[in-house]
A and B are shown apart, each in its own frame.
Chain A
Amino acid sequence: MSIELIFTLIMILVVFGISLGTAMYSTLAERKFAGFFQDRLGPDRAGPYGLLQPIMDGGKLFFKEEIIPSGANTLLYIAGPSLSMLTACMTSAVIPWGTYIEWDGHKLPLQIADINIGILYVFGIVSLGVYGVMIGGWASNNKFSLLGAIRGASQNISYEIAMGLSIIALVMMSGTLSMREITEQQAGFHGMNWYILKQPLGFLIFIICAFAECNRTPFDLPECEAELVGGYHTEYSSMKLGFYLFAEYINMFISSAVMATLYFGGYNFPFLNDLGLSHNLVAILGSVALFAKILFFIFFFMWVRWTLPRFRYDQLMKLGWQVLIPLAIANIVITGGVTLIFNL
């Protein structure tokens, strides 16, 4: 086996571990931050500062009784959460986590697969995620689950369009779909090359759609506990429920990573090349910078969740179809016009 292949295998394990670990501690962070936003403390009993809470929660879910409703389609009932988890874990493959490590004359990229259709791959996998919700909701043989699943499916499909259109404007500027090349284009000029400065409207549309795609408040209609009991996972218990909830947090991590990569310079950070450090150290610092950006976005997700109330369903659809999609198309036209006039 070549060193590149071994390194890629290690990267797969590391990225998988990091996304699971981040998602795990996002559950704790969510509850902690919920407490802080409401002048409370949040869970702090399990271990110092409640740090063992995610492990306790996971252990509890594993040991709980598994209930499969008698009217449910057993195969699809199990396939639903599995699919949700699978699609959530697959997206991280094309995200560039850093430049490359130089080792023994080899250039080892900190990325699992640098495919030239990186963004399309992300969209393809994310749009598969709706099947997990749909199948799980339908197979439960429960009215509330089905309603939640239908809501989830229509919401995801509606917002994927606006999301894709907002990305097209970005792709028109970058001229490539590869995540690594887009990140490389944002290097230099101390952060002045970041696409957030060139595509502010596109980013705004993208982040709103990301909230909707992750089923996060204010777009958490598929699982709105106040109206639909629990939405599509009403009938689920034990670790199958855990998978659904966990997939949401992995999706949050991945969409934070995508936003940081596409709009906030990825692993680039200001004064990157002025530090006078060795290449490998700079590469690792870049990965740390990307991670800091991701953590900020995760915090932002939670911050919005504990600020805004839920949309009404017709408001949600109106926002998606009548506001975001026209805005995204206008953004494409403006981007095209500016590119044409200034010959960028």
Chain B
Amino acid sequence: MKLTNRSVQVVNKQLSFKERLYLPSIMAGMAVTLKHFFRKHNTIRYPEVKRAFSDVYRGLHVLKKDENGAERCTACGLCALSCPAEAITMTAAERQKGDEGKYKEEKYASMYEINMLRCIFCGLCEEACPKEAIFLTSEEIAPSTFDRKSLIFGKDKLVEKQHHPNGKIRGGGPLDEKLYHGGNDTIKYGY
């Protein structure tokens, strides 16, 4: 009875004289390896050259500013609520007079921390945010360190340095193309 169509009839045929000489096949194989010897290498020299991320890559979080340079986050806590890893915590505060340029609305986050050890980079905080304030769009991956404390990222690391005009989706501050991609050695994602 045939159960699947994947069964293959095994043939135990004798090798022909040419095949038993082995040398022609060995030379053919060596020609193949020699072709690879001169081929372009696939290696990306990582610290010097970084591979460009895809458009949907979820990197480190960025707290966005609006076009005037004011923080968009209102410390509503929806991101923390949506976070399945419970990595986000924050403290809300009321905006003082004179701080209109710094914070977009009357309430802002005086403290905002993401524990990068807990974060699973699922992007649910980005989906939950009603103010389009948090995006996982930094083209950085979480750094490796020897202590746990330095992996709890506060506002100093999360808030984007300056507003990036066309950065609603691609955020994370202006990228120095040369620094990140090592000049012309950029390898495009998805070949």
Contacts and interface: CB of A to CB of B under 8 A. Distances in A.
Interface of A: 33, 35-41, 44, 303-304, 306-308
A40 B42 CA distance: 6
Nearest to B43: A41
Contact of B30 (A38, A44, A307): A307
B29 A308 contact: yes
* From B26, B40, B41, B42, residue with most partner A Cβ within 10 Å: B41
Contacts of A306: 33
A308 B34 CA distance: 13
Contacts, number: 37
A41 B30 contact: no
B135 to A, nearest CB: 35
Interface in B24-63: 26, 29-30, 32-34, 36-43, 45
Given A33-B37, A38-B36, A303 B43 contact: no
B30 A39 contact: no
* From B30, B37, B40, residue with most partner A Cβ within 10 Å: B37
B33 A37 contact: yes
A41 B40 CA distance: 10
28 contacts: A33-B37, A35-B41, A35-B43, A36-B36, A36-B38, A36-B41, A37-B33, A37-B36, A37-B37, A38-B36, A39-B36, A39-B39, A39-B40, A39-B41, A39-B42, A39-B43, A40-B42, A40-B43, A41-B41, A44-B45, A303-B30, A303-B33, A303-B34, A306-B33, A307-B29, A307-B30, A307-B33, A308-B29
Interface of B: 26, 29-30, 32-34, 36-43, 45
Q: Identify the 8 closest CB pairs spanning chains A and B, nearest first.
A: A41-B43, A307-B33, A36-B37, A39-B42, A307-B29, A37-B33, A307-B30, A41-B41
Nearest to A304: B30
A38 B41 CA distance: 8
Contacts of B41: 35-36, 39-41
Nearest to B39: A39
Contacts of B30: 303-304, 307
A308 B39 CA distance: 19
Nearest to B29: A307
A35 B29 CA distance: 17
A40 B40 CA distance: 9
B28 to A, nearest CB: 10
A307 B39 contact: no
Contacts of B43: 35, 39-41
Contacts of B37: 33, 36-37, 303
Contacts of A33: 37
Contacts of B39: 39
Contacts of A44: 45
A304 B37 CA distance: 12
B118 to A, nearest CB: 33
Contacts of A37: 33, 36-37
Contacts of A38: 36
Contacts of B34: 303
